[in-house]
Amino acid sequence: MIILASASKSRGDLLRGCGLDIKTIPADLDEDIIKEKGLDVTTTAVELSKAKAHFISQKYPQSLVIGADQMMKCEGQRFDKPHSVDQAREQLKFLRGKIHHLISAVSIYKNETCLWSHHQRAELEMRPFSDKFLESYLDQVGSDVCTTVGGYRLESIGVQLFNRIEGDYFTILGLPLLAVLDFLRSQDIIET
């Protein structure tokens, strides 16, 4: 059995969409313990992905457990998922007209052992959108703006926030999917 240690609908959809039969079991852990260690954003994302996979692997040691996390930084500042629409508004105003980076990390555990860990980075440049556009955007997405670290989904209207995007699409969605599939093939977990 393959378990995704996450409540993320988009990550679950990505894995199911490529033909994997997965079970989703969110890891119930205090992420702030890792986030407050003062690590750089890449190391934080990797450590969070490992912690999630390890947490679920303890309960399901014979299963292959996938843990994933995503962090965002802009001008040296780290961002988490906004807690409210107002916080998302301020975050998007800060990002407006600037380049930011998304770092997506994934780790795979079995028997409480890390079999593999990987991270990828994407660079995104937000366009200098108007306040009127921002308010229209927030009205359309509502509280969904709080479900992603950047306050946007590229697979929907969030794509209108950008001038330029460089990086793997799946990494931007929060899971370096092609790398995951390569690892699973290398382990004969899925067909080569």
* CB neighbourhood size of 169 (10 A): 13
Mean pLDDT of 20-43: 95
Does a structural domain hold residue 53? yes
Show the tokens assigned to 40.
């750089």
pLDDT number for residue 35: 93
Does a structural domain hold residue 59? yes
The total domain count for the chain is: 1
Residue 159 has pLDDT above 90, yes or no: yes
Tell me, what CATH number does 25's domain have? 3.90.950.10
End-to-end CA distance of the chain: 18
Residues with catalytic annotation? Answer: 69
Of 165, 89, 101, the closest CA to residue 127 belongs to: 165
96-126 pLDDT, tens digit each: 999 999 999 999 999 999 999 999 999 999 9
Residue 175 has pLDDT above 90, yes or no: yes
Cα separation, 133 vs 169, in Å, equals 24
- The reply to whether the predicted model has a pTM over 0.75 is yes
User: Would you list the DSSP string of 66-123?
Assistant: EEEEEEEEETTEEE---SSHHHHHHHHHHHTTSEEEEEEEEEEEETTEEEEEEEEEEE
44-76 pLDDT, tens digit each: 999 999 999 999 999 999 999 999 999 999 999
Residue 143 has pLDDT above 90, yes or no: yes
Cα separation, 14 vs 192, in Å, equals 19
User: Would you list the DSSP string of 164-187?
Assistant: EEES-HHHHHT--HHHHHHHHHHT
pLDDT-derived band at 192, boundaries 50, 70, 90: confident
**Are 113 and 62 contacting, i.e. CB atoms less than 8 angstroms apart?**
no
Does a structural domain hold residue 95? yes
Does a structural domain hold residue 192? no
pLDDT number for residue 20: 95
Share of the chain above pLDDT 70, in %: 100
Domain that holds residue 117: 2-186
pLDDT-derived band at 150, boundaries 50, 70, 90: very high
Of 104, 76, 78, 101, the closest CA to residue 91 belongs to: 78
Does a structural domain hold residue 191? no
Show the tokens assigned to 89.
């508004």
Compute the mean pLDDT over every residue in the chain, rounded to the nearest whole number: 95
Does a structural domain hold residue 143? yes
pLDDT-derived band at 33, boundaries 50, 70, 90: very high
DSSP 153: -
**Are 68 and 116 contacting, i.e. CB atoms less than 8 angstroms apart?**
no
Cα separation, 68 vs 145, in Å, equals 20
Residue 7 has pLDDT above 90, yes or no: no
Cα separation, 107 vs 148, in Å, equals 20
